[in-house]
Structure formats: structure tokens, C-alpha cells
Structure 1
């Protein structure tokens, strides 16, 4: 049910305190934060407006995943305020979407304040547990944007998880993940090694300053068993307000991987925490 007034809404959720704050500059737009860290931004009047830079990069990749406007079957691990499910419902009408959100309190808040997404089913469950029960060849695209607090949970960073993601995707399907790291890229390198055990083709998108080791930031990883649909992706990302670089050459991916080994179940740790204030709002 939609809130009758655009007032800030605050709730204790499973991983902290969530707030839904109306954007004073856009009539029906909302910012979702958890412990003051931005999680999602949605504009209900303009669902194709992607405020966060990393979501714009994921949006570009989704635009190129199939013919323009073609409906897709998509699994989202991590729900937030359902930014990308809303985007796909607008740009690819008729898409069937499954959204898996582990934070029961957060899912309840979003369901209470914001309208549902046509064609999207929300499952309140651990992402890996849901994935392991899902049917094979279920999805054209799997989007992973899962943060327990400010870190990617360790059980979503292993070879076992990567195998499950590849199993749920149809042959040639697209795996798309939001990660975060900084030089010397120990976490990112291990993730490239891990995903490489299940997917033959890897690429990533990040701001040049992040790739040069100047700051901590988001890295969007693309993976598939087939050549990736990256034609035009570099140009789209270069035209954004905060341009990103596409890294897809095998040598460049291997350089970022370095000597990192794949992460096995039982060996994993959560992703690194961002430095204080990196992703904070007042």
C-alpha cells in the first residue's frame, strides 16, 4: 500500500535501522537507507531514472542483455526498494521477476510504503538457500546486489554459490553483480577467480579512480558461459555523469585477479567494509 503522505518512515529492520526519505526535488521519489548507508533510490513516476551510478551501469547491461523491450525472466538476489525490478518492469514489460530479500523487516517496510512491481514476486529468504532450491535454467539474468549491513555475506562469494548461480541461469544467461573493493583488490581478485570456475566470460565496470586504486568504490561484474553482450556498453557508461570503464580483455581481468584463488565453501569471509563515511548520508 502506498503511503498517503511523503513523510520519512523509520523502522528497525534485521540489519539495523532503515529509513525511507522522500526526495524534496522529485514528487514521488524515495531514498532507502540502512544505518545511514544508501541502499536504494526509486522514482515511482520515472522508474527508468537510476540515481546511483552503479545501478545505471547495471541498467546499461540489462538494456543490452536482449533485444530492446523483450521480456526476460530475471532473478534478483537482494531487493532493497526494488529499483532494478521497477526499471525492468518499465523497460521490458511482461518480464517475470523473482526478488529474494533476506531482511524480513526491510521487505515489510518496502511493501508497506511503496507499491508492488508488476510481474515481480518477492521471496523473504536467504539468497543462497532460495537459489539452491530454484529450478535449473530458470532465468535469463541473475542480478546479485546483496549486502548484509555493508558487506556481501561470505556464503555468497564461493565456488558453490557460483555453481548454483550458473545452474539457475539458462545457457548463455547473464550474471550481474554489484561488489565493492579498493586496491590491492584482494576481494575482487578472489571473486574473479571464483566466478571463473563457473563462467567462461568475465567483464567488469568501475570508475577509473577505483580501478587506479585511488578510492574504495563499487565494481559491477558481468559473467556468462557465452560471450558477453558488451557491444555499446563502454560507450553508454562513458557518457554517464560519473563515467565508468569497461574491462573485458582477458589479460586485464587476469591482472586484476592476480594470484587470488577461488574461494571454497568453508573458507569464505564477508567483503571488506567501506572506510568510514564512504557510503553515508546525514
Structure 2
């Protein structure tokens, strides 16, 4: 089955793509996807940036491997899929060995705590090259506070962190996804993207603080 790699059905994935665009990635960027799923973002970014290379890890490689059978996923070296824990994936990398880290891993509605604390974020900072970027999907549920530690850990590791998401979700009124963008990006470009998004979307440099 062929799926158009240019089309992203989920709003938070569009935020991911907009963050990468606002970052102005290197032509031959190397990206690590923590939480491979069906490799939607890897497929999309290979389409957008044909010289890029991607490593997609998931604690269970069954789903991404099935995606290889169902869909026309890029092959190695453009896309490599590994069964690996998301913390191990960053902890075992060499310093300054990645341009981009994308985190999209969940346990039910929330990010596992081992992928959202100071340890994970410090490793994510260590493995990204100068000028690199980390983009993380944060699940939020009204009445919970797990996102606060996630955002605080991101700010402890990176000088610049902004959040992109629907206004109601960022204000804790509705369950949903907020995307943390850690690294040097054109925040004005992100705001222009948010202003034209189909749903009411904001860019907040203080979210979770």
C-alpha cells in the first residue's frame, strides 16, 4: 500500500514538521525517532529532506516492521528500525552524534517517566550536535501534572524551549498533545505556522514553567 508521505493526519505531527522547518536542518541530517510507531514522521522527513537519514527505535519493533510490509517505507540507510528502549537509545549514543531527536513515545495517554525526566533530557542534549534540535510530544490530561516535570527537564537541558499546541490543551482544559521544541528555531516562523493552523494553535515559551 502506498501512503502519501507529504500528508500528516495528526495535528501534533504537523507541529513536528513545522518545528523542523523553523530549525532549517542540515542537508544530511541524522535523526533519531524515539517511539517509532509506523514511522510516519521518518517517512515524511525523508520525503521532505531526501538526503536525511533516520533511526527509528521502539520498545517493540513489531508495529514498525509490520509497517514495512504494509507501506512503502524508506530502506536503509535512509531509515533503520531497531527494537530498543527509548532511554537506552539516547544513553548509548556518542556525544554530538545526532542532528535531530524526535520523541513520540507513550504509555496509554502519557509519556513514560523514564523518557520525560532530567536524565533523558540531559542525554538528548549531550547527543545532539551544536545547533541540534529535540522535538518531543507531550501527552496532557486535565488534572495531571506530569507534563510539568517534562517541560522543566527540557528547560534544564536547553537554553531555548518553546511549546506548540492547541490553546485549550496548553491551558489544561482539554486532553491532547503539546509539542516541546528544544533548540535554536525561528520562533516567529513557528508563530506564523500556528496562526495558519486549522485548529486554534499557540506558541508559548513559558508553557509548564
Taking structure 2 as the reference length, the TM-score comes to 0.91
Aligned to 2:50: 93
Deviations 1:186-245 (A, max 9, x none): 222211211122111110011111123321110000112xx4332311111221211310
Structure 1 residue 59 and structure 2 residue 59: aligned?
no
Structure 1 residue 230 and structure 2 residue 190: aligned?
no
Aligned to 2:106: 147
Aligned to 1:217: 176
Structure 1 residue 77 and structure 2 residue 34: aligned?
yes
1:158 Cα deviation (Å)?
1.5
Q: Which of the residues 194, 207, 226 maps onto 2:153?
A: 194
Aligned to 1:170: 129
1:100 Cα deviation (Å)?
0.8
1:144 Cα deviation (Å)?
0.4
Distance 1:231 1:72 in 2: 23
Deviations 1:118-173 (A, max 9, x none): 40111111111122111211111110001134332221122111111111100121
Distance 1:219 1:164 in 2: 21
Q: How many residue pairs are counted as aligned between the two chains? A: 207
Say whether the 8 Å CA contact 1:107–1:124 is kept in structure 2: no
Aligned to 1:48: 6
Aligned to 1:180: 139
1:183 Cα deviation (Å)?
4.3
Distance 1:199 1:184 in 2: 27
Rg larger in 1 or in 2? 1
RMSD: 1.9
Taking structure 1 as the reference length, the TM-score comes to 0.68
Distance 1:189 1:223 in 2: 15
> Which structure 1 residue ranges, 5 or more long, are not aligned?
3-27, 29-43, 258-282
Distance 1:89 1:163 in 2: 27
Structure 1 residue 247 and structure 2 residue 207: aligned?
no
Decide which structure has greater helix share: 2
> Which structure 2 residue ranges, 5 or more long, are not aligned?
none
Distance 1:187 1:138 in 2: 29
Deviations 1:73-126 (A, max 9, x none): 111101111111111111111101111111132233222222232401111111
